[in-house]
Amino acid sequence: MAKVRTDDPRLQALRLGEQATAGQFIPRPDRRAAVARTLRRPQFWFGVTVLIPTLIWYWIFSFQPIFSAFWIAVHKYQVLAPSTSPFIGFDNFRYLWANPLFLVAVRNTLLWGVLAFTLTLPLALLLSVCLANVARGRNLYQFFIFLPVVVSLVAITLLFRMLMDPDIGQFNTILNALGLHSWTWLSDSSSALPTAVGIGVWKGIGGTVVLLTAGMLNIPAELQDAALVDGANEWQRFWKITLPLLSHTLVLVMVLLAIGSLQEFTLPQLLSTSGAGNSLYVLNILIYNEAFQNLRFGTATAAALLQFAFILVISMVQLKLIRPKWSY
């Protein structure tokens, strides 16, 4: 005859249910016994084995540098002898505010973020709607749209610098052949930032299109068919069905766009020319110059913390205002 295990959790749950039905007193579960049972499970130790290297990686390369940044921001950091760095309080933030290029960098960063956001999101939505309604060849179209994303950013930047050269660039050669005036592109302070943003949008829009297209294809087709039967046109179906049901994906895309556009560095750094002046001088360039050219790591860290706080607030506001409270 098989022996019944009295410590079987299912049997204990059944007994507790019977006691509750009979109105009897139900003892509180023994937490120590529950912990001991958890520690005896091989799944627990497998999870610990997998998580510990990951946590160590994040601590070394993410959390520990963030905590160290708060310490560096209030010290006059000495590279060769960090332990002897004197405490100066908020002087690094005062030095940063006194820098005449700080407000220039903040203005250019905000302008870059607004332009990139307002250009990328509508264009990506338009392309995603077109791809979602394509019956054949969707993967091929997505491949060509996504191709610039995987190409080296430095290579693309140098290519556009050559194409947009005001004297020998191919773009102005084409404009002159069509009887149009040459364009300054990256050689003028009034056009350098919009031109650079346009290059950045073309380079990165493929990732946004892929995310939005996947979200649209995930919407049940029965809802679109029902709206079509009810006589809804394309615009009504997009506004009343597609856009609301796409809200979870839209929140993700908008947060990623805001974070990425406010942290630009490579494009404005490589596209800067003497004619552009400080029009491409964004906050990350200021941080780089303070740290690695002027060797003022405390001031650079203070600027990085301000950037971190601003992006964190923007992301939290987006999640609070836009994230839907429902799911389907």
What distances in angstroms separate CA 4 from CA 1, 7, 11, 29, 34, one per listed residue? Answer: 9, 9, 9, 21, 20
As a dihedral over the C-alpha atoms of residue 72, residue 75, residue 79, residue 81, rounded to 10 degrees, the angle is -120
Mean pLDDT of the chain: 87
User: Looking at the structure, do residues 69 and 96 belong to the same domain, yes or no?
Assistant: no
Is 259 a residue whose pLDDT tops 60?
yes
| Look-up of token digits 């906050």 | 283
Residue 10: pLDDT over 80: no
Q: How many helices (H) and strands (E) does the chain have?
A: 17, 0
- Asked if pLDDT for residue 286 goes beyond 70, the answer is yes
4 is a domain residue = no
pLDDT of residue 167: 84
Q: Is pLDDT above 60 for 166?
A: yes
Q: Count the domains in the chain.
A: 2
Buried b (16+ CB within 10 A) or exposed e, 28-48: eeeeeeeeeeeeeeeeeeeee
Q: Does residue 280 lie in a domain region?
A: yes
Above 80 in pLDDT, residue 14? Answer: no
Closest CA to 99 of 294, 236, 312, 270: 294
Q: Does residue 160 sit in the same domain as residue 285?
A: yes
Do residues 162 and 257 share a domain? yes
pLDDT reported for residue 227: 85
Mean pLDDT across the stretch 23-47? 72
Confidence of residue 297 (pLDDT cuts 50, 70, 90): very high
**pLDDT (mean) for 280-299:** 93
Could you give the percent of the chain with pLDDT greater than 70? 90
Residue 231's pLDDT is what?
A: 83
Residue 264 lies in a domain: yes
The answer to whether residues 191 and 308 belong to one domain is yes
For 49-102, what is each residue's pLDDT tens digit?
A: 889 999 999 999 888 988 999 999 999 998 888 888 999 999 999 999 999 999
**Is residue 113 helix, strand or coil?**
helix
**Statement: residue 17 has pLDDT above 60:** no
Closest CA to 105 of 299, 235, 322: 299
Average pLDDT over residues 285-308: 93
Whether 103 and 234 share a structural domain: yes
Which residues are CB-contacts of 208 (< 8 A; sequence separation ≥ 6)?
A: 120, 121, 124, 253, 256, 257
Range of 10-19, 108-117, 156-165 with top mean pLDDT: 108-117
The reported pLDDT for the residue numbered 39 is: 76
Structural domain contains residue 80:
no
| The pLDDT of residue 42 is above 80 | yes
CATH number for position 140: 1.10.3720.10
* pLDDT of the residue at 137: 87
Using the 3D structure, point to which of 5, 39, 73 is the last residue of a domain.
73
Please report the pLDDT score of residue 225 as a whole number.
84
| In a shared domain, residues 154 and 47 | no
Instruction: Assign 328 a pLDDT band (cuts: 50, 70, 90).
Output: low
CA distance 310 to 328: 32
Whether 47 and 172 share a structural domain: no
Task: Based on the fold, state whether residues 300 and 232 are members of the same structural domain.
Answer: yes
Residues 107 and 241 in one domain: yes
Who wins on pLDDT, 124 or 232? 124
Out of 41, 73, 105, a domain closes at 73
Q: Is residue 159 part of a domain?
A: yes
Determine the structural domain holding residue 35 and report its residue range: 30-73
Q: Are 56 and 172 members of one domain?
A: no
| Alpha carbon distances (Å) from 283 to 101, 109, 278, 287 | 9, 6, 11, 6
Residues 44, 105, single domain; the answer is: no
125 in the same domain as 248:
yes
- Please, what is the angle between helix 297-322 and helix 91-98, to 10°? 90
Mean pLDDT confidence for 151-169:
90
Radius of gyration of the chain (CA): 28
Structure token digits, residue 30: 């023994």
pTM assigned to the model: 0.81
What is the pLDDT confidence band of residue 327, given thresholds at 50, 70 and 90?
A: low
Domain membership flag for residue 17: no
pLDDT at 206: 94
Task: Look at residue 34 and tell me if it is in a domain.
Answer: yes
Residue 97 lies inside a defined structural domain of this protein: yes
